[in-house]
Amino acid sequence: MPTQKFTLNGKPVAVDVEDDVRLLWVLRDKLGVTGPKYGCGLNVCKSCTSHINGKAFNPCSVPVSDIKATDEVTTIEGLADTVGSTLHPMQEAWLEIDVAQCGYCQPGQIMAAVAKVKQVRAAGREITDADLDEIRNICRCGTYHRIREAIVKGAEGM
């Protein structure tokens, strides 16, 4: 069985798993990282949203063999470490705005929000409603108004 190597939440990992196993299952079943949730397995609901090299991606649709040894995967569990704090500013905003109802999609929502804010900031501008419209993560509870409000609030602290 091949050994897959990459960096996960700032630490190098190696796991023996077949090349065609989706990264989400490697994270959850082999490495015990449960923040990214399984929702659809088709890159539609985006409840598994994480970061690869700082950009949002959905590990449910990526075979582990597509991840290189030099890649850095960050899940909600490692997000606060990216700012050297107990919580990331986006996580703090989520709590302040009281976004979550069931909470299932929230790790993916937060990871998508952080990636979008970074993308917008790299373009030299502030986040707009049009940017928020580009975030396609599904929330079955329908807390979209509070999600949008928390993204704007979290962006202020980033």
**pLDDT tens for residues 55-114?**
999 999 999 999 999 999 999 999 999 999 999 999 999 999 999 999 899 999 999 999
Q: In terms of Cα–Cα distance, which of 38, 155, 61, 158 is closest to 108?
A: 38
**What's the N-to-C CA distance of the chain in angstroms?**
42
| Residue 124 pLDDT | 97
- Find the mean pLDDT for residues 138-157: 96
The overall average pLDDT reported for the chain is 96
- Domains and their CATH numbers in the chain: 3-76 (3.10.20.30), 81-157 (1.10.150.120)
Contact 144, 85 (CB under 8 A): no
Give percent of the chain with pLDDT exceeding 70: 100
Residue 137 CB: number of other CB atoms within 10 A? 23
